[in-house]
Structure 1
Amino acid sequence: MDTVEVAGLRIRYQRAGQGPPLVLLHGAYEDSRIWRRQLDGLSDEFTVVAWDAPGCGGSDDPPPDFTGEDLGNALAGFLREAVPGRPHILGLSMGSGIALELYRAYPSVPASLLLVSAYAGWAGSLPPEEVERRYAQVLAELDQPPEQFIPVWLPTLFTDHADPAAVEETGAIMADFHPSGMRALLNANAHADYRDVLPTIVVPTLLLYGTEDVRAPLSVALEMNRLIPGSTLVMIPDVGHMAAVEAPDAFNAQVRRFLHGVTAG
């Protein structure tokens, strides 16, 4: 793994391949290891870069008062230091919110957006009571041993016919989280609302969801598609929230098809 320093934080990342840059932003409790199948599967045509967000993996924990705006600025600084050219930005779940923070402040930076299992922020896509339920759940988990709560997460991320080895691998990555880092990230983005950003997006945008996603269900996907002008919505059949892990071949094929269309244009 490589390291850059951004605003006093060391950010670790993985890089593979050559070609147009594709930057991968993981979700909550995860780090760049979740993208193993994309680093392997897409690096034949693209320079695939997967960061460990501040507070995750090998990166430094941000301060407790870190904000969503700070996350967007950290990503912009990371891109300046580590990614040549104008990148395609792919964000999964929490990572999609970070991508939208980047777009809000730096709309000229992304060549395109690929928003996977995405929300307009929890507060922008979910009922207020569900936002508070999720916030309270994660806040309580940060004081618990991971073996107590990670098994509760996994059925909400995968379908019951997902490869058990892939589910186990994901659980092991999630269990390796930083409590202080996750607390800072939760405080930064748990109540984010990006509905004002979505209509301003003018770069090509792919919305990619699993049909069986119970965390970001079809109603969320359809509303994202309605609010982002000209966006393309693709549903991958019979997979859940972690489509990139559960169905990597189908996932990578959709990413490749979209990027071919963008780069050809």
Structure 2
Amino acid sequence: MKVEVGGLSIAYERAGHGPPVLLAHGFVGESASTWRRQVDALSDEFTVVAWDAPGAGGSDDPPDGFGMDDYADCLAGFVRALGVEPAHLVGLSFGGALVLATFRRHPGLVSSLALVSGYAGWVGSLGREDAQRRLELSLRASELPGDGFVAAMAPSMFSPAAPAEVVEPFLASVREFRPAGFRAMARASFEDQSDVLPAVDVPVLLLYADHDVRAPVSVGQAMHAALPDSRLVVLPGPGHVSSVEAPDAVTAELRRFLHGRGSGRPPG
């Protein structure tokens, strides 16, 4: 399915009925390879929508200079175009920074936020020096052919124990990356979103993985300390793309959160 938002054709999947849940993928891969298991599982009681961000999957490439605010405005326009507002926004990695930026600019569209291995932007979560280094590495990787790009990105996406048959479908989508779109998402990921954290007045789930080398648990802990109403959950075993490596665990935590609407911090 596709819809036009701000002059861009945006591809998406939609399934189920019930309260709307919007799934935003990271800066590699796209909706189907990242969220397939969650779309299938959660559609039994939610309207689940997984978009391809501009520059990924079946969506158009963004214009030059398309930053995180532009991605957030596009996501907000997408939610309005589908008539699914307000929605629970779930973002993995780059998608986590995106849903924070969307809350900043369009708070009325947001019922709750869930960040899966997410950042308050690379600068906000990693510091400017590490963020700059990551951006430079990403931009260099974008010049590689598909197999070289996978070789550069894959080692930081999963734990060493991840079975090949689990990760290969995701890596196949990474191999089909679009350089211009990837560069736009990398540059948007760099931007600092940390100043919005104290103002977030909806429930937030922070879902991290103990073998994640890209967004380690310390990133989630820092956001947990800054957010007024958040729940931090650490999954044992998977790496960064936990929605693929540990789909049942991710789905269970999202379902638990959505049922409780993130009802505050757990005791202790």
Shorter chain as denominator, the TM-score bin is over 0.9
Tell me the equivalent position of 2:73.
73
What is the aligned partner in structure 1 of residue 201 from structure 2?
202
Structure 1 window deviating more from structure 2 (42-51 vs 145-154): it is 145-154
Aligned equivalents of 1:264, 1:117: Cα separation in 2: 20
Hey, what's the Cα distance between the residues in 2 that align with 1:190 and 1:12? 21
Deviations 1:130-156 (A, max 9, x none): 212211111111111020131232221
Once superposed, what is the RMSD of the aligned Cα atoms?
Answer: 1.5
Stretches of structure 1 that go unaligned for 5 or more consecutive residues are: none
1:172 counterpart SS class:
helix
CA drift of 1:176 comes to 1.1
Cα distance per residue 1:8-57 (max 9 Å; x no partner)? 00101001111111100000121111211111111111111000001111
Are the structure 2 counterparts of residues 20 and 137 from structure 1 closer, same or farther at C-alpha, using a change threshold of 3 Å? Answer: same
Where 2:207 maps in the other structure, the secondary structure is strand
Are the counterparts in 1 of residues 79 and 85 from structure 2 also a CA contact under 8 Å?
A: no
Q: Distance in 1 between matches of 2:185 and 2:258?
A: 29
Please show how residues 207-218 of structure 1 align to structure 2 within 5 Å. 207-218=206-217
Distance across 2 between alignment mates of 1:51 and 1:208? 20
Q: Secondary structure at the match of 2:115?
A: strand
Residue 24 of structure 1 aligns with which residue?
A: 23
Amino acid at match of 1:8: G
Unmatched tracts of structure 2, length 5 or more: none
Q: Within 1, Cα distance between the matches of 2:171 and 2:99?
A: 24
**Counterpart check, 1:155 vs 2:155:** yes
1:95-130 Cα distance to aligned partner (Å, 9 max, x none): 011101101111121100001101110000113222
What are the within-5 Å matches in structure 2 for residues 1-265 of structure 1?
2-33=1-32, 34-187=34-187, 189-262=188-261
The code of the aligned residue for 1:228 comes to L
Structure 1, 129-138 or 49-58: larger mean CA deviation: 129-138
Regions of 4+ moved over 3 Å: none
Q: Tell whether the 8 Å contact from 1:29 to 1:175 is kept in structure 2 after alignment.
A: no
- Say whether the 8 Å CA contact 1:27–1:92 is kept in structure 2: yes
* Matching residue's letter, 1:219: S
Amino acid at match of 2:159: T
Matched residues, number: 263
User: Could you tell me the percent identity over the aligned residues?
Assistant: 48
Conservation of the 8 A alpha-carbon contact between 2:68 and 2:189:
no
The answer on whether the counterparts of 1:64 and 1:183 sit within 8 Å (CA) in structure 2 is: no
User: Which secondary structure does the structure 1 equivalent of 2:144 belong to?
Assistant: coil
Counterpart CA distance in 2 for 1:193 and 1:58 is: 28
Determine if contact 1:154/1:167 at 8 Å carries over to the other structure. no
TM-score by length of 2: 0.94
Give the counterpart letter for 1:63 in structure 2. P
